[in-house]
Amino acid sequence: MSERLWSTLRSVAPPVVAIAVGLFVGALLMLSFGFDPVRGYVALFRGSYGSPEAWMESLAFSTPLMVTAITFAVGMSAGLFNICAEGHMYMGAAGAIAVGGMVSLPPGLHLVAATAAAMLVGGLWALPAALLKMWRGVHEVVSTIMFNWIAFWFVLYLIRFHITDPGRAERATPAMITARYPVLGGSLTGVIFVVIAFCVAIYFLLWHTGLGYELRLAGDNPDAARYAGVSFRRVILLTFLIGGLAAGLAGGSQILGRPPSWTVYATLGNLLNLGFQGIGVALIGRNHPIGAIFAAVFFGGLAHGGRFMEYEVGVSAEMVGAINGIIVIALALPEILRIVKRVRAVKE
């Protein structure tokens, strides 16, 4: 067996084994409650990828997860446990509404401006946590959790008092037609191309630029980074800014690129937890920008196809969530173990 083939098998084996373990444990859970796991999984994957329409819906579910995963993945590359995507996403959605729903601009320009506003607001919301880390040493987990909740309540306040739809008090003003991405089919719109392009751009930044090398070196070997003269403050600022731009784009994608509502409701239900789900997507994708794309498609398929398990087999929504969670944990476990091993090696 050639060295290249052996290397490929070693890289492919862990996720394949993880998928098998996740499916097996999920099957045991279904059996314990009297459901047929074969019928359940057939319904799941047929609903996710069994037709062009299913594919489009799964891709629509996966679109925001691609970029919320980038927020966490870039942070881990730099050695930071950045869980701020949820708050940045809320703020990005508010920025998209402020420009896309409340400012009249020509077609084309309006869409670009609204998308840029979502990313800019998400990026700006990253600055406080970055500065606290840079200047006061506040741990990013503590600060980002706080700012996530601040963003949650602040956006709820904006929806209720400042960006409310005059005709429907339960939601914010929807994006104007000129600020909407073209619909490709079902809930899938052209925003997916912008999101994929952003992921590819981050890949080139991390692996094909000197700045990206410094960022990864700071995460892999802090001592070597200090010896090489890497500015940790610059790494922290860059990491948070990229994370904010990515999650802001995720929030904007749900406003400007997700029919039929083209807005956000007062409960934030169409945004809630997409930032935290991005952590699981990043772990499945091995904290790699391109891996995040494929992991998000898989995760989006589980989210969309899981509903068919309930419709066709009778599996309750709670159990569907548990089965999907088991599969995700099994897939994410190899990366979690790798991160733990790397942290121990750095401490030693």
Give the span between the Cα atoms of 255 and 271, in whole angstroms: 9
Give the span between the Cα atoms of 257 and 196, in whole angstroms: 14
Tell me if 91 sits within 8 A of 254, measured CB to CB: no
CATH 1.10.3470 is held by the domain 13-347: yes
User: pLDDT by residue (tens digit) across 238-251?
Assistant: 999 999 999 999 99
**Cα angle for residues 64, 275, 215 (degrees, 5° grid):** 90
The pLDDT score that the predictor gives to residue 343 is 61
The pLDDT score that the predictor gives to residue 2 is 58
Average pLDDT over residues 113-139: 95
In sequence order, what are the beta bridge partners of 183?
Answer: 189
The pLDDT score that the predictor gives to residue 293 is 95
User: Domain-by-domain residue ranges, the chain?
Assistant: 13-347
Average pLDDT over residues 25-43: 89
Angle between helices 232-256 and 109-131 (to 10 degrees): 140
The pLDDT > 90 percentage for the chain reads 61
Report whether pLDDT(348) > 60: no
The pLDDT > 70 percentage for the chain reads 93
User: pLDDT by residue (tens digit) across 293-324?
Assistant: 999 999 999 889 888 888 888 888 788 888 87
Confidence of residue 206 (pLDDT cuts 50, 70, 90): very high
User: pLDDT by residue (tens digit) across 265-298?
Assistant: 988 989 999 999 999 899 888 889 999 999 999 9
Question: How many C-alpha atoms does 196 have within 13 Å on its Cβ side?
Answer: 12
Report whether pLDDT(92) > 60: yes
Report whether pLDDT(87) > 70: yes
